Chain A
Amino acid sequence: MGGHIGPPIQTTMDFGFNDEQELLRSTARKFLENECTSEFVRKRMAEPAGVTDEFWSKMAEQGWLGLVFPEAYGGSELGFVDLAVLMEEMGRAVMPGPFVSTVLLGGLTVLEAGSPAQKDAWLPKIAGGRAKAALAWTEPSGRWDAAGVTTTAKPAPGGWALSGTKLFVLDAHLADVLVVVARSAETKQPDEGISLMLVPRATPGLEVRLLPTMDQTRKLCEVTLNDVRVEAAAVLGSVGGGWAPLARVVERATVALCAEMCGGAQRVLDMTVDYAKIRVAFGRPIGSYQGVKHKAADMLVDVENAKSLTYYAAWAMDENVPEAALAASMAKACCSDAYRKVAAAGIQLHGGIGFTWEHDLHLYFKRAKSSEFTFGDATYHRERVAQLINL
């Protein structure tokens, strides 16, 4: 009784996941529950590599390293909504390793801006787990806009000479090749005159230093380029035309990161609700107290809002709708706040046990913090939203 009052529905609109996506989710969850246990994550935190060769090969076998690459380059040619599903599961497992750097940043930039030869050279290797990549973009200024790119690319015999310092570079120490974002011409508009260069990590003059980070599951590097020489063929896309493809890649990576954040936040909520059901204080499960229950409800609302905006942004990326950039910034502003708040509330509701090294909550709390600042925090993206809605 009291059911649906409308007629049978003939419609295309559907803001949910399809059967294949649900299958991808359950496959990924099972795989990561087996292969990416807390013990595995903690071991990877303690060592520079952040991943094992065995784990990386298995990721390749599943087809996940080339999920959004075209079939011609060894990929599965799936969309960003599919990727969002996979990323949610990776976030749930607080998966370490160079997935974001290799697939979402290095790989996608080659796909977006590269020539057929460059794509041939790198994408099948990345999809097959035989090569890792990184994006050397941000600098000590910590800026996410085009004006933040001050590393120079100067014409040199047969190619270019690169000089400058890149900071907060994900997994540069693991990468076989780096995409270096450099200024090849001084122009009035900061987003002009930027070029993308493929630089093998072993190139003379390029130095990578691993930095100690709060979130040990995410490895950050400083990359210094001291008169690094590359051939003319190293340029991805057009000389001076690098900002537009970079911005598109970063938008996509941002949305994928948002999905990972949603998955992490959902896991914190799940752990907290499970604990609140069994932990007894004053003779009752703590989840029966409104002080705890209402906080858990707030966590759920944060997680659901984050998911709604992230799923929409993923769809907007796939469909390339005009407001895709706005959708990405709305999602990142929301997720940055939501994951941080949910992770902190998770620790609070667990009490003392939530503050221990032994409990996994701190892995999520720290991942929330590193993700918050990757690709711009909530304040940055709210200002971007303000601009995009012509405020």
Chain B
Amino acid sequence: MDFSLTPDQEAFRERVRTWLQLNIPGQWVRRAMGSSEVPRPEAYEFLRDWQRKLWEVGFVGLTWPKEYGGQGLSFVEEMILHQEMALLKAPSILNILGVGMAGPTIIAYGTEAQKKRYPAKILSAEEIWCQGYSEPNAGSDLASLQTRAVKDGDAWVINGQKVWTSLAHLADWMMLLARTDSDAPKHKGITYFLLDMKLPGVTVKPLKQLTGDAEFNEVFFDNVRVPESQVLGGVNNGWQVGLTTLMYERLALGFGLQVRLRIALDGLVEMARHVEKSGRPTTNDPILRQKLAQLWIETESLKYTGARAITKLLRGELPGPEASAGKMVWVDVHQRLQELAMEIEGPYSQLVAGSERAIENGLWQYSFLRSRANSIEGGTTEIQKNIIGERVLGLPKG
């Protein structure tokens, strides 16, 4: 067991820190994301520029091979980068689904032409990606998806609908799962496509969420013709390719979300120092101290669970179903953190952005509401528990 870094890694940490100190734009928090993970509309252009700057100095795509635009570094450097970004409260990137999911999956399964074409533009935020998995009748039971792709000459013709598609209104490309063989068992007849969102027949309709934002969308496909060169990982192999994406997604959660959680917790402690309850700072209230300390402990625990997962990767093992546990814990801790923010604010928790009486301009009200989605998006908590039960513990399927 060893947490020490090599001299190169120490130097990398120093380089990241120095660069961030010089380059993080002042007052970005108000304009950008607060403690949410998904970019808010008013921050899109700002975050695109920010990601481009990070990419230009080589701080995006650390673990990707150099020939595809990455840096050829290890997950340790990736971890260092995220830690430093958290410590200095740096903004996240815009193309989170591209960098976290599409790129790694293309590098793992793509043809040489695909690997040359897509990953570099993902890193530079030149092309934004969204994920076309969920459908109105296929959420947790993803494999029953009904969007259909039918072969016609050298193209596939897509018809159907996706839903809850984050960033689709911005996206240039979609990771699309569609049914290519309706006679095969449901997991065997799915193909993974790299879909150009500008093709004729693609319609994006914003979907307003309970936060009032429209961060995700419905996407309709009406006879969309996709060239066969856009299949990733082989026809009818989409389920396996799609699962790889999800494993990388949960792994990316392990790196990125733990530190976002820490930023949110630091922010919450800071807020708690300035809010009074019964005439004293809430940080002096024994019950709230217990709750804050508990969140601190669980946030640290996620960090070390993440370190154990990284160790497995460094030893050459694949990201496994254990990542489901990390996702589930993160969700639980983050939702309780947001609940606690409301508890600390007390009656002020009712006031939102727009009221000058609102604490921190209503930042926490937004993130509290947004956090309800955490246990649904990226696989519901119930599905994560099924995965843990069946694939980690080996319990029989229901």
Contacts and interface: CB of A to CB of B under 8 A. Distances in A.
Interface of A: 1-7, 9-18, 81, 269, 273, 276-277, 284-285, 287-290, 292-294, 296-298, 300-301, 304-305, 308-309, 311-312, 314-315, 318-319, 330, 333-334, 379, 382-383, 385-386, 389, 391
Contact of A16 (B1, B63, B65): B1
Contact of B297 (A4, A290, A314, A385): A385
Interface of B: 1-6, 9, 63-65, 72-76, 104-105, 107-109, 233, 240-241, 244, 269, 283, 286, 289-290, 292-294, 296-298, 300-302, 304-305, 307-308, 310-316, 318, 322, 325, 328-329, 382, 384-386, 388-390, 392-398
Contacts of B325: 297, 300-301, 304
B294 A382 contact: yes
A13 B9 CA distance: 10
A296 B389 contact: yes
Contacts of A1: 108-109, 233, 240, 244
Given A15-B311, A391-B292, A277 B63 contact: no
Given A2-B318, A6-B74, A290-B386, A386 B293 contact: yes
A287 B293 contact: no
Given A1-B109, A2-B244, A385 B304 contact: no
A9 B289 CA distance: 42
A305 B329 contact: yes
A17 B1 contact: yes
Given A301-B325, A315-B1, A288 B293 contact: no
A391 B296 CA distance: 11
30 contacts: A1-B108, A1-B109, A1-B240, A2-B241, A4-B318, A6-B63, A6-B73, A7-B72, A11-B5, A13-B3, A16-B1, A273-B394, A284-B396, A285-B395, A287-B396, A288-B396, A294-B382, A296-B388, A297-B328, A297-B384, A297-B393, A301-B325, A301-B329, A304-B322, A304-B325, A305-B305, A308-B302, A333-B294, A334-B301, A383-B293
Contacts of A5: 63-65, 104, 107-108
A16 B314 CA distance: 11
Chain A interface main SS type: helix
A301 B93 CA distance: 30
A333 B307 CA distance: 20
B311 to A, nearest CB: 4
Given A13-B9, A385-B297, 20 more contacts: A3-B318, A4-B316, A5-B63, A5-B107, A11-B5, A14-B1, A17-B1, A273-B394, A287-B393, A290-B386, A294-B386, A297-B328, A297-B384, A297-B385, A297-B392, A301-B325, A308-B308, A309-B304, A314-B1, A330-B300
A297 B321 CA distance: 12
A220 to B, nearest CB: 27
A161 to B, nearest CB: 39
A300 B392 contact: yes
Contacts of A389: 293, 296
B385 A298 contact: yes
Contacts of A6: 63-65, 72-75
Contacts of A301: 325, 328-329, 388
B297 to A, nearest CB: 5
Given A2-B108, A13-B2, A333 B397 contact: no
Contacts of A10: 6, 74
Given A4-B316, A11-B74, A304-B305, A285 B6 contact: no
Contact of B395 (A15, A296, A304, A315): A296
Q: When A and B form their complex, which 5 residue pairs have the shortest distance between CB atoms, in order from nearest?
A: A293-B389, A287-B395, A308-B304, A297-B388, A297-B385
B267 to A, nearest CB: 14
Contacts of A7: 65, 72-74
Q: Which of A1, A273, A277, A292 has the most chain B CB atoms closer than 10 A to its own CB?
A: A1
Contacts of A297: 325, 328, 384-386, 388-389, 392-393
A300 B324 CA distance: 11
A391 B63 contact: no
Given A4-B316, A11-B314, A300-B325, A382 B307 contact: no
Given A13-B5, A15-B307, A287-B396, A309 B289 contact: no
Contacts of B386: 290, 293-294, 297
A16 B309 CA distance: 9
Q: Which of B314, B390, B394 has the most chain A CB atoms closer than 10 A to its own CB?
A: B314
Contact of B5 (A12, A81, A312): A12
A15 B396 contact: no
A81 to B, nearest CB: 5
A13 B310 contact: yes
A242 to B, nearest CB: 28
A309 B311 CA distance: 15
B290 A382 contact: yes
Contacts of B9: 11, 13
Contact of B290 (A4, A293, A330, A379): A379
Contacts of B304: 15, 308-309, 311-312
A270 B286 CA distance: 37
Contacts of B293: 333, 382-383, 385-386, 389, 391
A307 to B, nearest CB: 8
Q: Which of A2, A277, A287, A296 has the most chain B CB atoms closer than 10 A to its own CB?
A: A2
A389 B75 CA distance: 28
B291 to A, nearest CB: 9
A309 B318 contact: no
